[in-house]
Amino acid sequence: MYEFDFERPSTIAEAVAALATEDAQALGGGQTLIPTLKQRLASPSKLVSLSGIAEMKGISADGGTVTIGGGTSHAAVAAGAGAYPALAALAGNIGDPAVRSRGTIGGSLANNDPSACYPSAALASGATIVTNTREIAADDYFEGMFTTALEEGEIITAVRFPVPDAAAYAKFEQPASRFALVGVFVAKYADGVRVAVTGASEDGVFRWTEAEEALSANFSVDAVAGLSASADGLISDLHGDAAYRAHLIGVMTKRAVAAAS
């Protein structure tokens, strides 16, 4: 790693001030950023650790909404988001137990890895990304692989999820990295079904609108049995080519619907 300064503020306001330095970078749980720094793929002048900010940790459920602090670990969500069981289950299957102790929901969403699990839950739930300056709808937040609507120095302080009537996440795991080779999150709300796909597209997480329309009309495995996702723009790598990933989107969607119904 290149050298950098390190600050560990205890409030959001202090963190925002610390991030005003040129080339300063926020540090969540570090489960992606630290390996990136080790490979010298990033060279921030300063890391601002968010791990000491108590006001960014915790889970609350109120009137059909679950709100999770941006600094809440995957392990804490797995254990404490029982009001949204599909979300808790997703968090409990990210990485491995030691990774889940450190990795945070805010860090995952800010990084927007095209194979990360959380972006699919946020997009399928129509979640609201709350930052130190504003609120961003999930539909406006994800802008492509490793790209989001966040401005420089903007911190995800919380994420609000409307709790669906039924939901499930089906993940086809890449066994070495434990990221999703393809993951599909299906969430059924009174006004329709949302389907978000991670791991598959070169543009990162996306909504599979064809499946959403079919499932909104008839929430059953049969409704999506005849659909096939397009392979255009999907990732091809040594783990699977675009056609394989397109096939997995269909399979994982059916599994998620079966688990949710």
Partner 1 sequence: MTNVSMTVNGKAVSGEIEGRTLLVTFLREGLGLTGTHVGCDTSQCGACVVHVNGEAVKACTMFAADAEGAEVTTLEGMANPDGSLGTIQAAFQEHHGLQCGFCTPGMVMSAASLLKENPKPSEAEIRDYLEGNLCRCTGYHNIVKAIMAASGQDVSSMAAE
Q: Is 30 in the site for partner 1 (CB under 8 A)?
A: yes
* Residue from the set 34, 42, 61, 145 that interacts with partner 1 by CB under 8 A: 34
Max distance between CA atoms of the chain, in angstroms, equals: 56
Expressed in angstroms, the distance from the first to the final Cα of the chain is: 48
Q: Is 95 in the site for partner 1 (CB under 8 A)?
A: yes
Q: Closer to partner 1 at the Cβ: 1 or 13?
A: 1
CB 74 within 8 A of CB 100: yes
Residues 4, 144: Cα–Cα separation, whole Å = 28
Q: Is 97 in the site for partner 1 (CB under 8 A)?
A: yes
Report which secondary-structure segment, H or E, holds 65. strand 65-69
* Residue from the set 101, 132, 174, 216 that interacts with partner 1 by CB under 8 A: 101
- Residue ranges of E strands in 128-165: 128-131, 135-137, 142-144, 147-148, 156-162
* Residue from the set 12, 15, 27, 53 that interacts with partner 1 by CB under 8 A: 27
Q: Is 35 in the site for partner 1 (CB under 8 A)?
A: yes
Strand partners, 146: none
Tell me, rounded to whole angstroms, the distance of Cα 101 from its chain centroid: 16
* Residue from the set 9, 52, 162, 192 that interacts with partner 1 by CB under 8 A: 52
By DSSP bridging, strand 135-137 and strand 65-69 are unpaired
* Residue from the set 96, 151, 191, 232 that interacts with partner 1 by CB under 8 A: 96
Binding site for partner 1 (CB under 8 A): 1-6, 8, 27, 30-31, 34-35, 37-38, 46-47, 49, 51-52, 73, 75, 95-99, 101-102, 176, 178
